[in-house]
Amino acid sequence: MTQHMTADVDHLDALALAFVVRVQGSWTPEARETFEAELAQEGLTPEADALDAALQRARQHFESGEAHFFLCMGRPCQKRQKFDASAEALDRIEAAHGLPVTTTECQGPCKHAPVATLRVGQRSDMFAEFIREDDWRSVLDFAGRAASERTLLVTPGEAQSFRFDPVHDHDTGSGLLQKLKFFLGHFQGDVESTDGGENFHKEAVGTWEVNGRFLGFRMAVTYPLPDGRKDIHTAMVMIGVNPDSGDFEARVYTDGGGVHDYHLEVDGDTVTFSDRVETHHRVKPSRARKVFCPTPYGFDERLEFDRGSGAYELYYRIPMYRSGK
Ligand code: FES
């Protein structure tokens, strides 16, 4: 009999924790009523005091630690996990990332299994559909960085694809923008110009921004000066898809205070836009365009000029090499 009651309390505690994770630590009277109805379906009808106590224990668990990762181990989630979620593997993750990991009962959106919730400070993010080992690793990589920086606003990297918003019914990112995924990461390259007249080094970091709705691109170009000093120019680009026209648009913010808008043509995996001719005063083309395409090592950036013939020809190329992952 005592054993039976203990099992019921454990079951109630497990379901209470999953509920508290789902509502991210706080709940309304209506949410509590819905939870009580769910418990009844499970054959649990705790007294109000017992339920209050279970919810308080669950809240304490949810709020323990500066950051905490909750992996759903409900049946649909377990079935779709193609990664090692054994207790030993989770212990290793705790040690490697310095992040407590707790398994839970169903967190709610089973259709998007597997599911997990990461709490950092007062905020939580949900992740879904991270099925393969690689997917799982990218979610953990994000969770580890967010925990050590103590904010969910670290760059999401590959984990962006697995972010899940249970409240809004839109996708967390722009599907069209996925075509520009090859810009994500850290890249460096040296210019190779056709007339040998260019000499600069370029570095760029591409990240998802605003929940994957935009792609941010930070750039720095370093020009060696004759006296040995370095002339460095930086810029920030935000790329998004116009919701009305479906067009790709980019806005560039420069360290000189300039703001420039560009219309991007995306054809297959090649991105092209008309460049401002006034920035190429040494060559004075009648038209200029930039062309970007993915390569096995990262991507290529090309600057092409129309010098009056009506046709574009290559002026320079920058092979941008991805560093790390
Ligand atoms: S089983 Fe994981 S969300 Fe339902």
pLDDT digits (tens, 9 = 90+) for 246-300: 889 999 999 999 999 999 999 988 999 999 887 777 778 899 999 999 999 999 9
Closest residue to atom 3 of ligand 1, CA basis: 110
Centre of ligand 1 to C-alpha 2, Å, is 30
Residue 2 has a pLDDT of 46
107 lines ligand 1 (CB under 6 A): yes
Q: What is the CATH number of domain 65-172?
A: 3.40.30
Atom of ligand 1 nearest to the CA of 112: 3
Q: Name the residue ranges covered by the structural domains of the chain.
A: 1-64, 65-172, 177-322
Q: Strands 123-128 and 115-120: what pairing?
A: antiparallel
Q: Strands 67-72 and 101-104: what pairing?
A: parallel
Residue 174 has a pLDDT of 59
Centre of ligand 1 to C-alpha 222, Å, is 50
User: Which CATH class for the 177-322 domain?
Assistant: mainly beta
74 lines ligand 1 (CB under 6 A): yes
Q: Do domains 65-172 and 177-322 have the same CATH topology?
A: no
Atom of ligand 1 nearest to the CA of 76: 1
166 lines ligand 1 (CB under 6 A): no
Q: How far is CA 122 from CA 53, 59, 62, 151, 188, in A?
A: 22, 12, 11, 9, 37
pLDDT 10s digits, 140-176? 999 999 999 999 999 888 898 899 988 865 555 556 7
